[in-house]
Amino acid sequence: MSPPAYFVTCKKNVLLAPDVYEIVLTKPEGFSYKAGQFVLFDVPLVDNPADLQPRAYSIASAPEEKDLLFVIKLKPGGRASRWVAEVLAEGSIVGMGRALGLFTLTPESGGHYVFVGTGSGVAPLRSHLVSCLDHRTTDARMDLVFGVRNREDLFWTDQFNELARKHSNFRFHPTLSAPRSDWTGLKGRVQAILPDLIKDPAQTKIFLCGSPAMLADTKKLCIETLQMPKANVHGEGYI
């Protein structure tokens, strides 16, 4: 493996929801990125730290924010998952590459942007929303559909509710696929809400992030059923 472009310091690593960690890293001098991009970390094997392999993670902070924010959902026995849960701590040094990816956007005045994220797939969507709403102050209409299994799997809801309170052009729609009986909000898969949200398919752009299966189903719905132009449907699959 070639040497990493940057070495960054871990400022925070905390459990945010079951099996989901929130990680804050220092932003290195000279590092620039666009909302929606990801980086590759050099991830050591827990039992042999000299053995490094890359893993991709979306940057959840907006470029205008001070630090770099990430969320990592653990996969049982996974290399990065063990590293995050067992090793990575405040003060750890992490090797990181430059920003990559085309899951980016330039908000058009008067447009409608629908963001759909499942689990940790909400990460790059947070970056877009904070950048567009708090820093570029777009007047485009924006909706976030955040899908998880149960109430305890939700995170950053205070931040998204606060964005919705501050910006009348933004609406937040948390939805649970396996809620308990006391949940009174939206239920079901993220796709279920889209026909109600997308009133003008030709003028709507959708940004999907999460499992490849969710992406495939939602793209099919948007293009074949809702008749959205293919060019308006963007996806980032977490493989």
Residues found near ligand FAD in the complex (CB under 6 A) = 38, 55-58, 70-73, 75-81, 120, 123, 236, 238-239
- For residue 54, the minimal CB distance to ligand FAD (Å) is 9
Instruction: State the Cα–Cα distance between residues 29 and 151, nearest whole angstrom.
Output: 38
**Strand order in 93-96's β-sheet?**
48-58, 38-45, 93-96, 6-17, 20-25, 68-73
Q: Which is nearer to ligand FAD, 120 or 232 (CB)?
A: 120
Q: Considering beta carbons, is residue 80 or 228 the nearer one to ligand FAD?
A: 80
Provide, rounded to whole angstroms, the least separation between the CB of residue 101 and ligand FAD.
6
35 or 198: CB nearest ligand FAD: 35
CA–CA separation, 21 and 141 (whole Å): 30
Place of tokens 């820093």: 135
Q: Minimal distance in Å, beta carbon 84 to ligand FAD? A: 8
Shortest reach from residue 182's CB to ligand FAD, in Å: 28
Indicate the residue among 108 and 152 with the shorter CB distance to ligand FAD.
152
Q: For residue 67, which of 49, 85, 44, 94 has the smallest C-alpha distance?
A: 94
Whose CB is nearest to ligand FAD?
A: 78
- The Cα 151–Cα 64 span in angstroms is 30
